[in-house]
Structure 1
Amino acid sequence: MLHTVTEWLWWERLWLPVNVSWADLEDREGRIYAKASQLYAVLPYALCLLVVRFLFERLVASPLANVWGVKDRIRHTVEQNAILENYFRKQAHILSPVDVSALCKKTSWPERKVQVWFRRRRNQERPGLRKRFCEASWRCVFYFFAFVGGILALHDKPWFYNIKEVWAGFPKQSLLQSQYWYYFLEMGFYLSLLLSLTFDVKRKDFKEQVIHHIATLTLLAFSWISNYIRVGTIVMALHDSADILLEGAKVLNYAKWHQTANAMFVVFTFLFMLTRLVLFPFWVIHCTWVYPLERFAPFFGYYFFNVMLIVLLMLHFYWAVLISKMLYKCIFTKVSLHVYALNTFSTSLCAFFSQLEGDDRSDEEEDDSDSPKEKNYKLSHLNGAGARGRANGH
């Protein structure tokens, strides 16, 4: 049975075009081809990158956080309450009005006290600012060196300038050493992210991140086995280019370099839309969907590869919506709070840069203050500022 399954799994018509066999992809005459057996090395690469990440975060990112004054927020401790603790762990972290009323009866606490307790308890479960800073720093550094390495591996290749060349001689295309290192570092990195998801900062798009990492690893592994390596390197470089700016903007934001971070985020937004929603579908997917049919009949691997690219494209649309919502919120929602001061488009744009903060996917800390005086002071301060603005003719 195992022999039958193996034969079916490696059936040549699943992976290769008609009239091409695995024997055609054996090393000979100075040509070296990618092999499925080499994929076992991805796990050691991932483990090595986890070790490198551990050392980087402690020897580089943490000292950098000290230099830039990145500190964890001082959190209020929660009062010991077995009823609320049991409900928090076994029932829900977020309370509905009905839940609040029921817990008030059980604990004899007022509603506000119960709500504040749950906000503080949720904050205790959230990672600190330094942890987020270290994680973003690691990803930023990796994406930067991966992108530079990808450009060095591609800049002198004809298919980088004429993408139709990725199919020249396919699938009998010899593996280059630069392609080997580029592929395995990228696969090792995404596998390391998948392995560390449970320990990393959990974001709102956690499930989408899991799907993205699995789809990316599946796509890279399949393209390696089927010798789609040329187009695979282009896809990786295209994705890394925008990720550098996103992680860099988060690092700078955590370090309170808000204006620089905001400007970098805006550049990232335009680059993301260009690379993920324009170049990726209309340049890369067009290349993988249309041009191969000029050389060979479609086969299972052709459809599978393109379906995986479509899955990535759907995730790009999802993240594009998140980014657009963040921009909309910062431009229209927050700017409306300062309507008296924003009479021109230029001042609106300046306010946008001053208000854009953080990563909208992050599980951010909540305000757990229990001081009515502090809230009254903030409200009176805001009202006073608005009154002064109106008095000045704004």
Structure 2
Amino acid sequence: MLQAVSEWLWWERLWLPAKVSWADLDDREGRVYAKASQLYAVLPYAVCLLLVRFLFERSVASPLADVWGVKDRIRHHVEQNAILENYFCKRAHVPSQADVRSLCKKTSWPEHKVEVWFRRRRNQERPGLRKRFCEASWRCVFYFFAFVGGVLALHDKPWLYNIKEVWAGFPKQSLLPSQYWYYFLEMGFYLSLLLSLTFDVKRKDFKEQVIHHIATLTLLAFSWISNYIRVGTIVMALHDSADILLEGAKVLNYARWRQTANAMFVVFTLLFTLTRLVLFPLWVIHCTCVYPLERFAPFFGYYFFNAMLMVLLVLHLYWAVLIYKMLYKCVFTKLQGDDRSDEEEDDSDSPKETSYTCRHVNGVGVRGRASGH
């Protein structure tokens, strides 16, 4: 039974165009091809990147936070109350007004005291500012070096300047060392993000992030096996360019360099629009949908690869709505906050109006790859 499943899984028509077999992709005459068996190395890469991240956050990001005065907010103590704790853990973190009144009767507390308790309890669940600063610093540094690596891997390749060259000789395209390292560092990074989801800062678009990371890894793995590597490297470099600015804007915002962070966020929005909403669909997806048909008949891999690219495009559109909302608030109003961030609430005992400062970049995590990213 396992043999039958294996034969179906590696059926050549799922992965390769007609009249092309796995035997055609055996290494010979100095030509080296990507192998599915090499994907097992992604897990060690992910573990190594987690270790590098841990060392970076402790030895670089944390001291930098000290230099820039990034400190966690002092949080008020939450008074012990079994009734409220049970409601918080088992029902909801934000009680309705009717539930607040019901809890007041059960605890003999006034409404204001119950509301303050829930605000303080929610703040306890939120990650501190230094944690967010360290995470953003790590991602910013990784995306910077990944983008530089992508530029070095692509700058002298003809398919960067004439995208039709992506399909020249496909799928019999020899694997280059630069492509190997670029792919496995990116795949290791996204697997490390999946492995660290449980202890990373949790955003409101948590589910979308999970979908995105899984789609990215699936697309990367599939493109590796089917030798869609040339277009994969283009998409990775295309996405890395904007992500540097996003994470950099977060870092500066946490360090209270608000005007610089806002300016960087505006530039990020422009670059995001250009790369994710213009070049990605009109240049990359057009290339993967139209040009292959000039060389071979459609097969399962053709449809699957383009379907995964469309999933990323849908996620781009979703995040674009959030980004444009935040940009509007930053430019045209004094309201600051991120539609998907989880900022600490005012939990003082005395009621006061909530004030906002422009923190629109705190919670945006936007990737999209064929690379998700």
Q: How far 1:18 moved relative to its partner?
A: 0.4
User: What is the match of residue 345 of structure 2?
Assistant: 366
Q: Deviations over 1:347-372 (max 9, x none)?
A: xxxxxxxx7x5654221111111124
Describe how 1:183-202 pairs up with structure 2 within 5 A: 183-202=183-202
Q: State the AA in 2 paired with 1:209.
A: Q
Q: Is the 8 A contact 2:276 2:313 kept in 1?
A: yes
User: What is the match of residue 270 of structure 1?
Assistant: 270
Q: Is the 8 A contact 2:123 2:345 kept in 1?
A: yes
User: What is the match of residue 32 of structure 1?
Assistant: 32
Q: Is the 8 A contact 1:276 1:313 kept in 2?
A: yes
User: What is the match of residue 297 of structure 2?
Assistant: 297
- Give me the whole-angstrom Cα distance separating, in 1, the residues matched to 2:63 and 2:220: 35
- Give me the whole-angstrom Cα distance separating, in 2, the residues matched to 1:29 and 1:330: 58
- Give me the whole-angstrom Cα distance separating, in 1, the residues matched to 2:156 and 2:290: 25
Describe how 1:174-189 pairs up with structure 2 within 5 A: 174-189=174-189
User: What is the match of residue 231 of structure 2?
Assistant: 231
Q: How far 1:58 moved relative to its partner?
A: 0.2
Q: State the AA in 2 paired with 1:326.
A: M
Q: Is the 8 A contact 1:250 1:359 kept in 2?
A: no
Q: Is the 8 A contact 1:190 1:213 kept in 2?
A: yes
User: What is the match of residue 366 of structure 2?
Assistant: none
TM-score, with structure 1 as normaliser: 0.88
Q: Is the 8 A contact 1:289 1:306 kept in 2?
A: yes
| 2:184 is the counterpart of 1:205 | no
Q: Is the 8 A contact 2:17 2:298 kept in 1?
A: yes
User: What is the match of residue 285 of structure 1?
Assistant: 285
Q: Is the 8 A contact 1:253 1:358 kept in 2?
A: no
Q: Is the 8 A contact 1:42 1:188 kept in 2?
A: yes
Q: How far 1:12 moved relative to its partner?
A: 0.4
Q: Is the 8 A contact 2:129 2:254 kept in 1?
A: yes
Q: How far 1:287 moved relative to its partner?
A: 0.1
- Give me the whole-angstrom Cα distance separating, in 2, the residues matched to 1:42 and 1:162: 31
> Structure 1 pair 44/199, CA: closer, same or farther in 2 (3 Å)?
same
RMSD: 1.3
- Give me the whole-angstrom Cα distance separating, in 2, the residues matched to 1:94 and 1:306: 41
Q: Is the 8 A contact 1:61 1:137 kept in 2?
A: yes
1:7 aligned counterpart, secondary structure: helix
Using the aligned pairs only, state the percent identity: 88
Q: How far 1:324 moved relative to its partner?
A: 1.0
1:290 aligned counterpart, secondary structure: helix
Q: Is the 8 A contact 1:166 1:230 kept in 2?
A: yes
Q: Deviations over 1:153-208 (max 9, x none)?
A: 00000001111100000000000000000000000000000110110000011000
2:117 aligned counterpart, secondary structure: helix
- Give me the whole-angstrom Cα distance separating, in 1, the residues matched to 2:15 and 2:338: 40
- Give me the whole-angstrom Cα distance separating, in 2, the residues matched to 1:154 and 1:324: 31
Number of residues of Structure 1 aligned to a counterpart in Structure 2: 355
- Give me the whole-angstrom Cα distance separating, in 2, the residues matched to 1:358 and 1:100: 26
User: What is the match of residue 325 of structure 1?
Assistant: 325
Q: Is the 8 A contact 1:143 1:240 kept in 2?
A: yes
**Higher-Rg member (1/2):** 1
Q: Which runs of 5+ in 2 are unaligned?
A: 356-373
Q: State the AA in 2 paired with 1:54.
A: F
User: What is the match of residue 156 of structure 2?
Assistant: 156
Q: How far 1:258 moved relative to its partner?
A: 0.6
Q: How far 1:242 moved relative to its partner?
A: 0.5
2:73 aligned counterpart, secondary structure: coil
Q: How far 1:147 moved relative to its partner?
A: 0.2
TM-score, with structure 2 as normaliser: 0.93
2:318 aligned counterpart, secondary structure: helix
Q: How far 1:300 moved relative to its partner?
A: 0.2
- Give me the whole-angstrom Cα distance separating, in 2, the residues matched to 1:158 and 1:360: 41
